[in-house]
A and B are shown apart, each in its own frame.
Chain A
Amino acid sequence: MGRMKKLLDQSLRPLVIYAFTVLVISIPVYFLIIDVIWENELDKHHYAIREKLEKRLTHLSLPDTAVDNMIAVLDKIQPGFSFNETTTPRPDSLYTVIRFDSFMNDREQFRCLTTDIRVNHKLYRVLVETNMEEVDETILAIGGVTVFFIMLLLAGFIYLNRKTALRIWQPFYDTLAGLRTFRLESGKAVPLPVSDVTEFTDLNASLDTLMQGSLASYRQQKEFTENASHELQTPLAIVKSRLDMLLQSQSLDAGQMRIVEQVYQAINRVSRINKNLLLLARIEHAQFEEKEQIALDETLAGVAEQFADRFENNALHYTESIEPFRVEANPVLTEILVTNLLVNAVRYTPTGGEVLVHLAGGVLTVSNTGAEALLAKNLFRRFAQASDEHAGSGLGLAIAREICDRYGWQIGYDFAQGMHRFSVRF
């Protein structure tokens, strides 16, 4: 399934990537725009200076020598200007140059205008230059500012995402939390939070329908098993009582008596299966809720005593080593669990075999003599016979497992040294 991603992070990631890309692209764009504005502005400024210079010098109406002197002075002292006499007019030129500046004592970038001015019919070639910010410094500044804003954006995104998205999705998380607590066995649908958002209202309504549907079919199934078992009890009772009556008939011979006895056996088996089915249904449907502290050793002793006749009759050697141990569970279920394990052991132990019950350190093991390992896969399944014998109801171990599952006990089976061993870890 891979790593799970949270919905909120999913929506945040593309936003962050997009914002980052836009801001990175903005760096050269900012630079180009700033550069163009700079140069434009400087060029306009240079032309204005040129116009003013030409007009003012002409306006003074000085003699040629005075003009020459003034220009020489300007050339010497006015920063950013240099004048040369020239004879042939040349077109203006605008350019950017980077050179070492002795005054600033550093490499500097300059915007230059080379143009001609005419004063008293004399042509001068003028170079006007202005120091401007260098490319790398500009980019660095823009980059720095951009990075700062990226950070600001990211922090904002994460904060806002956490805050607003969490609030927006809160009903969803509430629904999820509600659904987690839903148990079919409880027989009740969980109440889902009310939301004023259409999607969440729809979601909750659909989930509610789903829960109600599941509960209804669950209830039906439960009632079916219970009702079916109950319905069977009455005809079984009739058959049994009719047999008891038949037995009173004076005309029965030995053969007929034997048949009646065989019918009794079959009827007993049907009622056993029926009883166990009903029991299984009731365990599954979370009846037997009440719990109490049970002395397991006492339960075991009580149950084992009921089996005394069986041990004797089948000539089984019964050995027990039981340490006091307490569990918290339903007393009826605990007794059923112990009984079923013992019934299983007694039923499948050959005459003269051994049955061992051992309880120590919270582990109960019931072992009995056997010929070969059983199919562990089928052992705890309903009606799945794990051996060729068909004496049981096919439900005893399934019930045992169901009881263990309810309390989180571990039931297991293994076969070693000619002994089947069922263990329950409490």
Chain B
Amino acid sequence: MKILIIEDEPGLAESIGAYLTAQDYLCEYAATWAQAREKVELYRYDCILLDLMLPGGDGMDILETLKQQGQQGQQDGVIIISAKGDYETKIRGLHAGADDYLAKPFHLPELAARIYSVIRRRSFANHNQVVQSELKVDLLSKMVTVNGQVVVLTKKELDLLLFFIGNKNRVISKSALAEHLSGDIADMFDNHDFVYAHVKNLKKKLSEAGYGNYLKTIYGTGYKWEG
């Protein structure tokens, strides 16, 4: 899977790249508008991470270029990563053809989960299933089965499960999970204990169905899905 990281801040681009490379993605970088434009025109990517404020131009123009390409064939997936968190810019970006919009600052696991979701949505539109040995998740019907046996999960538990699978073998902080689970209001609170309850329930349901015990707790403050 090829990812293009269009981000002018080297520190951030590097972190993103390192995190995604460990997820077996192939990462390329563009730090200016001109570089981004060139890469987008020459190569195809499974997902493009697009910063809107770039030296030399507006990221929205890149989105426009991609849209024109898209009319001729398969379009690359795009996730906007921007410091502009306002609703207008978000709506504008999504209207211009972006698949998702993530406001800075964000957690890398959140980004990874979104990339995973975008790529899934694009490549397996008809038969969208996540499989890990005995565990199957049907993304269309939202059905989870372990060894063919249906496990009934709440919306949040399913959400968590997909988040973990999208961040295989990575340690995920409670803070990242909380932000993922409660969206806009997550950063209003310092206490993220409610994450425990959801993780605990998810673990219990999957264990009862006999899954491979992939979900590990790291020192009580982080989680890891092995696979």
Contacts and interface: CB of A to CB of B under 8 A. Distances in A.
Interface of A: 230, 233-234, 236-245, 247-248, 252-254, 257-258, 260-261, 264-265, 267-269, 271-272, 275, 278, 282, 287, 306-307, 309-310, 312-314, 332, 339, 343, 346-347, 391, 393, 396
Interface string B161-201: 00000000011111110000111110111110110011000
13 contacts: A230-B53, A233-B103, A234-B104, A238-B15, A240-B105, A240-B106, A241-B12, A247-B173, A268-B190, A278-B85, A306-B185, A309-B194, A347-B189
B104 A245 contact: no
Contacts of B88: 287
A241 B15 contact: yes
A306 B182 contact: yes
Contact of B194 (A244, A252, A268, A310): A310
B105 A239 contact: yes
A64 B65 CA distance: 145
B221 interface: yes
B97 interface: no
Contacts of B188: 272, 339, 343, 347, 393, 396
A268 B174 CA distance: 12
Contacts of B103: 233
Nearest to B104: A237
6 closest cross-chain pairs (CB), A and B:
A241-B15, A233-B83, A313-B194, A237-B105, A244-B108, A237-B104
A312 B197 contact: yes
Given A244-B176, A245-B18, A307 B187 contact: no
Nearest to A260: B173
Nearest to A258: B221
Interface string B67-97: 0000000000000000111111000000000
A394 B193 CA distance: 22
Given A239-B105, A242-B15, A269-B190, A257 B86 contact: no
B184 A339 contact: yes
A349 B183 CA distance: 22
A230 B83 contact: yes
Contacts of A265: 175, 190
Contacts of B87: 332
Contacts of A254: 219-220
B109 interface: yes
B194 A267 contact: no
Given A261-B174, A264-B173, A313-B191, A237 B185 contact: no
A230 B84 contact: yes
The contact size tier of chain B is 35 or more
B83 A268 contact: no
A239 B85 CA distance: 18
Nearest to A335: B184
Given A233-B104, A247-B172, A268-B190, 6 more contacts: A240-B107, A258-B221, A264-B173, A271-B187, A309-B194, A339-B188
Contacts of B197: 309, 312-313
A252 B173 CA distance: 13
B219 A237 contact: no
A347 B189 CA distance: 7
A248 B170 contact: yes
B173 A261 contact: yes
B11 A243 contact: no
A306 B104 contact: no
Contacts of B182: 306, 309-310
A261 B86 contact: no
B222 A257 contact: yes
A236 B105 contact: yes
B214 interface: no
A244 B185 contact: no
Contact of B187 (A243, A244, A268, A391): A268
B16 interface: yes
B9 interface: yes
Nearest to A314: B191
B22 interface: yes
B19 A234 contact: no
B218 interface: yes
Contacts of B176: 244
B159 to A, nearest CB: 12
B86 A264 contact: no
A272 B188 CA distance: 6
Contacts of B220: 254, 257
A236 B104 contact: yes
B115 to A, nearest CB: 14
Contact of B15 (A244, A258, A346, A391): A244
A267 B219 CA distance: 21
Contacts of B185: 306-307, 310, 339, 343
A237 B193 contact: no
Contacts of B198: 309
Given A244-B19, A271-B187, A272-B188, A257 B221 contact: yes
Contact of B219 (A241, A248, A257, A339): A257
